Structure 1
């Protein structure tokens, strides 16, 4: 049998070696690198040439947004480290190296969350998104510590996690409300008034100088600017990535209210998450009522007894209000005025108020019986505040848009209650309607959560109580 004679590496062709000969490989690699580098340079020169011909460089807000989050991230990291260290010291742990490692991970995580938030910049659900991202990153940090086999205190991490979530939620809220867009408004007869209402630095540009490439957002008037003369400029702006927004929509974003003259029921467009939330909101209402019973039952019983003792019965004040779907219902409150003196707007230091009941009105304790309305399905914790039939009829005659607030359950508190002063007349109720319509358009868990926080602040300060 003839033996197979092996060839030397120099005799084998390149495809048999699995790589080219060393001497040829280096030269070929250098040649390919040079070719790639030249191609990139040509592409770069081509892009710069396109810019010279009229293309623009898009402005990126990532670093600007990130700077807004750095301080909350640093505070979050410090607080978490302090909490974790306090737990470790209290437990008598002396492994300082492991403590330093855990604190380093805790300090880094808020900056990772900030980077993600700056990249996403959610305007719609800042609370939910920031909390979810924080929990994901937090769990990833725990996994990293476990992978490094660092002995950690899970109770300390559990105690520090609410701080991480709270600080990142505050940071996301700060980012959402930050306004560092470069704005311009296209000229129309009411442009100056619109710019004043929106506030901030807004450039007004006319048709003959309508180069809108340098702006982040262009504000337009629907009647004036949907014309052939402006279509070219607006299309060019949108193709370049500049947002084109009706000026009243910008006003709505900034001030949390809808202008009645620009509202139409067709503007209501709900996302699936909003629809799902409205379905589970009823369950949340009932759950909160049950959870509040250990407090509200004894407090309510004491208030009922106090009113009976100082002014006799009845202790409840019942009034027919306009509710969901335009249907009337009987809303319950504790009676805080002397018998036979109800009616009309309530003024400051009203003489009709029973002794000691100003305290109940200030902290909204007279609203406790409305938990019964929630159980009946007539009200929710959060929604447009129901008004009397007389006020409802007056407002409905002033503007047909008033009936839109009947599309959701009325609430004990609401966006209009935390944003607007006390409404004592029909005209003020119509003005207040702008905030109710904003809630109707933006209804979400995040907005309800913000209303809850603002309501707590209002209760603590007593603002708006009469």
Structure 2
């Protein structure tokens, strides 16, 4: 039995077992990669006439061809990685996954002054983007995840997740049908007959998954209800990547510092003219390993101190009257968060991670919500998995759901998940999603 669950693997199984209107081979890895190579590497070279030179293949053709080969391979890996997370659809994610490797290739060719063919490079990029967009569209349009569920335990909670078609098995003798896997609560007392059924299914090549891992992969949330079932070690983030991530954060903040200076030249005077001093808002928040730090933001509210408790003052509610006209625009497009580049340079924050809460709010949440402090095991971020999925919240019930998103990020922390959050952050900035 395999308690782990890969969303992309399950979708591949669904494609392999599907009886949909597209041939099964279209969704297989070998076909997708072979077709990508043919369309994005071979066809551009043939169209350019680079293979017909009497004196051999020129450097412009060979350099661009080998570069396109690696760019297509990298695009293939990125597409599969990004689409292995919940909530990813064809569009900006596929565009990023293909554009990034080709952009790196173009920079490489320019920096090292290698001869290359603009025609081959452009056609290769266009063909790769078209092919990967079409193949992912076929997945979303025709492939629906089919899962069978063994009754008992917490399986009932899974059936309400609409990201898959569920078949509830009525008896240990019932055939599972054409499914990507069988889901069961492996911690409940299933009985000998069901255990034998699951063992036989595994031997016949049908994956058997635990409900907890399936729920996490389909919803993007990790629930923690009992310390005994959690085992904090299972939520231990990737320590090697954490160290590399801090260096990436620092370099990225250093590069973005001039851009922050330009924004300050525009936003600073606007705040001064419309609502006076100060330009920056400073607030003590709980950060990495539970330590307090001062976060920097552009001020978006009036200077009037509300006659309420510190906890209520730290909450930003819907249509909050304290928000200024300029502040509303800054908050909608997340421009007010830009000064936190300084917090990144000081090592207090990351570009991506759980959002830090004000001290009064954090202390309240710790009293109300179990395991809340565990979110401080990684550096807080300017954006995060909870922000792009849920937006800004402050009520304890909503914060509990936010905590589940934070735990998912901690558990599955990786370069690929950070790339996805960065893309979705751009999307939320454009749409103004979740702002208060």
Per the TM superposition, whether the score is higher than 0.5 is yes
> How far apart are residue 171 of structure 1 and its match?
6.9
Contact kept? 1:285, 1:381, Cα under 8 Å: yes
2:431 matches 1:461: yes
2:291 matches 1:327: yes
Contact kept? 1:185, 1:203, Cα under 8 Å: yes
Moved more, 158-167 or 177-186: 158-167
Provide closer, same or farther for how the CA distance between residues 297 and 180 of structure 1 changes in structure 2, counting only shifts above 3 A.
Answer: same
1:224 is paired with a residue whose SS is coil
2:213 matches 1:243: no
Q: How do 1:212-291 and structure 2 match up within 5 A?
A: 212=176, 215-225=179-189, 227-261=191-225, 264-266=230-232, 268=234, 274-291=238-255
Moved more, 314-323 or 163-172: 163-172
Distance 2:140 2:225 in 1: 25
> How far apart are residue 227 of structure 1 and its match?
4.1
Distance 2:201 2:15 in 1: 13
Contact kept? 2:40, 2:124, Cα under 8 Å: no
1:298 is paired with a residue whose SS is helix
Distance 2:84 2:374 in 1: 22
Distance 1:183 1:194 in 2: 11
How far does the alpha carbon of each residue in 1:281-331 deviate from its partner, in whole angstroms, 9 at most, with x for none?
Answer: 111111111221221112123322332333332221111111111111111
Q: How do 1:91-170 and structure 2 match up within 5 A?
A: 153-160=116-123, 162-163=125-126
Q: How do 1:51-130 and structure 2 match up within 5 A?
A: 60=16, 63=25, 65-66=27-28, 77=39
Provide closer, same or farther for how the CA distance between residues 230 and 436 of structure 1 changes in structure 2, counting only shifts above 3 A.
Answer: same
- Where structure 2 has 5 or more consecutive residues not aligned to the other structure, the ranges are 1-13, 18-23, 106-114, 307-312
- Where structure 1 has 5 or more consecutive residues not aligned to the other structure, the ranges are 1-57, 89-93, 139-151
> How far apart are residue 222 of structure 1 and its match?
2.9
Q: Which has the larger radius of gyration?
A: 1
> How far apart are residue 454 of structure 1 and its match?
0.6
Taking structure 1 as the reference length, what is the TM-score of the superposition? 0.67
Equivalent residue in structure 2 for 1:436, among 406, 410, 434:
406
Equivalent residue in structure 2 for 1:399, among 361, 369, 392:
369
1:350 is paired with a residue whose SS is coil
Matched pairs, number: 381
Of structures 1 and 2, the one scoring higher in RCO (CA 8 A, sep 6+) is 2
Contact kept? 1:131, 1:168, Cα under 8 Å: no
Contact kept? 2:82, 2:416, Cα under 8 Å: no
> How far apart are residue 257 of structure 1 and its match?
1.1
> How far apart are residue 337 of structure 1 and its match?
0.9
> How far apart are residue 172 of structure 1 and its match?
8.1
Contact kept? 1:383, 1:408, Cα under 8 Å: yes
2:350 matches 1:380: yes
Provide closer, same or farther for how the CA distance between residues 95 and 397 of structure 1 changes in structure 2, counting only shifts above 3 A.
Answer: closer
Aligned Cα RMSD in Å? 4.7
Q: What residue number does 2:173 align with?
A: 209
Provide closer, same or farther for how the CA distance between residues 313 and 214 of structure 1 changes in structure 2, counting only shifts above 3 A.
Answer: closer
Moved more, 368-377 or 293-302: 293-302
Distance 2:197 2:325 in 1: 66
2:383 matches 1:409: no
Distance 2:122 2:209 in 1: 44
Distance 2:289 2:299 in 1: 27
Moved more, 171-180 or 241-250: 171-180
Distance 2:287 2:302 in 1: 27
2:393 matches 1:423: yes
How far does the alpha carbon of each residue in 1:130-177 deviate from its partner, in whole angstroms, 9 at most, with x for none?
Answer: 879x88xx9xxxxxxxxxxxxx95333344555566567757876897
Distance 2:213 2:135 in 1: 22
Contact kept? 2:331, 2:435, Cα under 8 Å: yes
